[in-house]
Amino acid sequence: MNENKRTQQDGEVEINLAELIPYLFHWLWLIAIVSLATAAIAFSIAAFVLTPKYQSTTKVYILSKSGANDNITYQDTQLANYLTKDFKEMVKSRSVLETVIRECNLPESVGTLASNISVSNTTDTRIVGISVKDPDPERAQYLANAVREVAAIHLQEVMDLEAVNMVEEANLPTTPVEPSKKKFTLIGFMIGFVITCVALIINYYMDDSIKTSEDIEKYLGMTTLATIPMFEDEDGTKKKKKRKKIARK
């Protein structure tokens, strides 16, 4: 049993980078082919299989009752920040989404609609953006405006706000936001690269065959005296011939 097998049985594998790196470079062509193939597959999935989605965004300005006064204190600013965070959570609440589904006569469930809605807030401001994704750009615009209107009415009642004023109407998107072909292609390339490298590394450490005289000395602890080349076959076929090795302890 050679040294390589003994280290594997002991649960320890010694990594020799001086041997592993040249081995991986030898198979660099295979790594490149597999990585490019998986990248092409991922790009094809993003371009031809997945349904593109468009995103429309509308913005509102939250005005609390205390903020309506002329003198705004630090506590008023902190309160406005908390109200903004509460607003972001309540836009996707069940009561708001159920109202939107009912008024717009949507086939989606509350969970499906919520997954297509995102709420963002510019730091240190009371401006909140409501974004809606949909395969149809016009429908995305319509739903964004509908969510904004329903949320504004509902949140004024629940949160006792002075007003929720519209800053921007929902835009009509012209280009899809997902799936990202670049991201899918990069992920596909990385998956192919990692899988190929891992497979090659496993194959490298599972291969216990003796290939060189150095392997004999390393794994069997024997010294190679000489190598004897083998002659060609009688039919004269040209093949690479292995060499017989004579070794002694």
Q: Are 61 and 127 in contact (CB under 8 A)?
A: yes
Q: Which helix (H) or strand (E) holds 85?
A: helix 74-90
Q: Distance between CA 71 and CA 84 in Å, rounded? A: 20
Q: Would you state the pLDDT for residue 180? A: 92
Cα dist from 62 to 68, 73, 79, 162, whole Å: 11, 16, 11, 8
Q: Is residue 130 part of a domain?
A: yes
Q: Is residue 43 part of a domain?
A: yes
Provide the pLDDT for residue 125: 76
User: Within this chain, do residues 241 and 184 fall inside the same structural domain, yes or no?
Assistant: no
Along the 249 residues of the chain, how does pLDDT read in single tens digits? 444 443 444 445 566 787 788 989 999 999 999 999 999 999 999 999 999 999 999 998 887 665 555 444 555 556 566 677 778 888 889 999 999 999 999 999 999 999 999 988 877 677 889 999 999 999 999 999 999 999 988 888 887 667 788 889 999 999 999 999 999 999 999 999 999 999 999 988 887 676 666 666 666 666 766 666 655 555 555 454 444 444 445
46 and 107 together in one domain: no
Distance CA 184, CA 171 (A): 26
Q: Are 65 and 161 in contact (CB under 8 A)?
A: yes
Check whether residue 159 and residue 61 sit in a common domain: yes
Asked if 56 and 132 count as a contact pair (C-beta separation under 8 A), the reply is: yes
230 shares a domain with 155: no
* Residue 230 forms part of a structural domain: yes
Give pLDDT, residue 41: 97
173 within domain boundaries: no
Are 111 and 94 spatial neighbours (Cβ–Cβ below 8 Å)?
A: no
Q: Are residues 62 and 38 in the same domain?
A: no
Do 73 and 144 sit in the same domain of this protein? yes
Going along 110-219, which residue ranges are E strands? Answer: 117-121, 127-134, 163-168
Cβ atoms of 20 and 196 within 8 Å: the answer is no
Give domain status of residue 16, yes or no. Answer: yes
- Same domain for 158 and 76, yes or no, is yes
Query: Which CATH number do you get for residue 156?
Result: 3.30.70.1130
Q: Give yes or no: residues 60 and 163 share one domain.
A: yes
> Each residue of 103-122: b (16+ CB within 10 Å) or e?
eeebebebeebbebbbbebe
Position 192 scores a pLDDT of 97
Within a domain: 122: yes
Residue 61: alpha-carbon gap to chain centroid:
33
Task: Kindly state whether residues 112 and 191 are assigned to the same domain.
Answer: no
Rounded to whole angstroms, the Cα distance separating 237 from 240 reads 10
pLDDT for residue 230: 59
Same domain flag for 34 and 66: no
Assess if residue 6 is contained within a domain.
yes
> Which of 133, 115, 118, 108 has its CA nearest to residue 54?
133
pLDDT value of position 87: 80
Give me the domain span that covers residue 30. 1-50+179-208
pTM for this model (two decimals): 0.68
Query: Both 46 and 77 in a single domain?
Result: no
**83 and 104 assigned to the same domain:** yes
pLDDT at 85: 76
- How many distinct structural domains can be found in the chain? 3
User: Residue 16 has what pLDDT?
Assistant: 73
- pLDDT at residue 205, as a whole number: 83
User: How confident is the model at residue 228, as a pLDDT?
Assistant: 67
The pLDDT value given to residue 146: 95
Q: Which of 140, 168, 196 is the last residue of a domain?
A: 168
